[in-house]
Amino acid sequence: MENHAKFVATEILNQLGGNRFIAMTGAKNFACFDENGECGLCFRLPSNFAMKGINLVKIKLTFSDTYLVTFSRVRGATVKEISKFDNVYCDQLECLFNEQTGLATRL
């Protein structure tokens, strides 16, 4: 199961743009996860870099083969959910990320 979670997380990162995405956004602290069979990718953004103070992004592949994307702000031990989107298709990930954070994923 762990290999499946890593595969899903790697595929999500590739759909966002891979190393180009990391270079353009400053994303770091990547982690894959598995919550009751729904795998995904979680990562941090530099503080005060994105709109609305977003510094945590969680993307989960659901059983319907779409994504649940959550944008949050972490301050100390407090996590505040800024926005959440369900039924996001893979070709919508980059655009949604750009709209919510104001960060470009490519030149």
Over the stretch 41-87, which tens digit does the pLDDT of each residue have? 999 999 888 999 999 999 999 999 999 999 999 999 999 999 999 99
The owner of tokens 């592949």 is 61
In this predicted structure, the answer to whether residue 13 has a pLDDT above a threshold of 70 is: yes
Residue 100's SS3 state is helix
- Mean pLDDT, the chain, rounded, equals 94
CA 3 to chain centre: 19
The rounded distance, in Å, linking the Cα atoms of 28 and 26 is 6
> For the residues 22-51, what does the mean pLDDT come to?
93
Cα–Cα distance, 83 to 72 (Å, whole number): 7
Sign of CA dihedral 82, 59, 102, 55: positive
